[in-house]
Amino acid sequence: MPTSNLCGKPGPNNDHIGGVPTIHYLDFMSRGRGQAVRLLFEDAGIAYTDVRYATDEYYTTYKKSKIAEMNPTATIPVVELNGHILTQSYPMLRHFSRVLGGTYDGKTEEELYFTDVVCDIVADWRTLFVAAFFSPNKDTDYPKHCSTARPNFLKAISQHLQGSDLAKRGPFVIGETFTYADIVLYQVLHDEELTREGRKGLKEYPRLVELVEGVEKRPNVSAFLGSERYLG
């Protein structure tokens, strides 16, 4: 049976989004696309019900039944809120940002565009990361990914951030304003294990270290990372 836990206490942002969302995701530590959605909830002080599926039960039972009934692509995360079902992690983040009054997005067209650019690069990166990390040939595929695709993404994103007048102000993708692009970028860096061990995997990318530190200093993110809810 999946586990189900209420995380946090409902606050004003639960009222803004219309209730307490239920997120369905794998029981995969504090990692993955679902964790990016949880991180937005954590940062925004949104209480959520966290439904976690063990990998075996997910693939043998729930993917084909409950998840497929809620989501035509039978993938997770899936969020239920007030009788509505939300699918696709990146659109979900944009949706919650809009519902919260644009709190997790840019304001100007230039900022909105640049936020989307960084998110799209991360989406491409995560697809390759997942393919290599969960490959049946992980022993060869993941080290290959770490020496080929991954440095290319790190370089490309660093170059974008260093070359943009918006990003130059730091620490985040569009400067001082924290957006959903920071959440997805932080989460892929975290899942690639580049945020730990003194950020040693990021030493050639100081702008990304600045961003990681900016994210981890957000008061609610910092409290989450120090709590029992953070599973590594």
Ligand X SMILES: N[C@@H](CCC(=O)N[C@@H](CS)C(=O)NCC(=O)O)C(=O)O
Which residues form the interface with ligand X (CB under 6 A)?
32-33, 63, 74-77, 88-90
- Smaller CB separation from ligand X, 43 or 191: 191
Instruction: State in angstroms the smallest separation of the CB of 91 from ligand X.
Output: 8
The residues with which 25 forms a beta bridge, in sequence order, are: 52
Q: What would the two tokens of residue 64 be?
A: 């084909």
Instruction: State in angstroms the smallest separation of the CB of 104 from ligand X.
Output: 16
Looking at residue 137, the DSSP 8-state letter turns out to be: T
Best CA proximity match to 213, nearest among 194, 191, 229, 192 = 194
Question: What are the two backbone dihedrals, phi and then psi, of residue 5, each rounded to the nearest 5 degrees?
Answer: -135, 140
Instruction: State in angstroms the smallest separation of the CB of 147 from ligand X.
Output: 23
- Smaller CB separation from ligand X, 63 or 229: 63
Instruction: State in angstroms the smallest separation of the CB of 127 from ligand X.
Output: 8
Which residue blocks in the chain are alpha helix, DSSP H? 12-17, 33-44, 55-57, 68-70, 89-99, 109-133, 138-147, 149-163, 165-168, 180-191, 206-217, 219-225
- Smaller CB separation from ligand X, 32 or 214: 32
Instruction: State in angstroms the smallest separation of the CB of 89 from ligand X.
Output: 3
- Smaller CB separation from ligand X, 77 or 175: 77
Cα-based angle 207, 195, 25 (whole degrees, multiple of 5): 120
Looking at residue 102, the DSSP 8-state letter turns out to be: S
Instruction: State in angstroms the smallest separation of the CB of 54 from ligand X.
Output: 13
How far apart, in whole angstroms, are the C-alpha atoms of residue 25 and residue 33? 9
The residues with which 94 forms a beta bridge, in sequence order, are: none
- Smaller CB separation from ligand X, 62 or 205: 62
How far apart, in whole angstroms, are the C-alpha atoms of residue 67 and residue 59? 10
- Smaller CB separation from ligand X, 63 or 144: 63
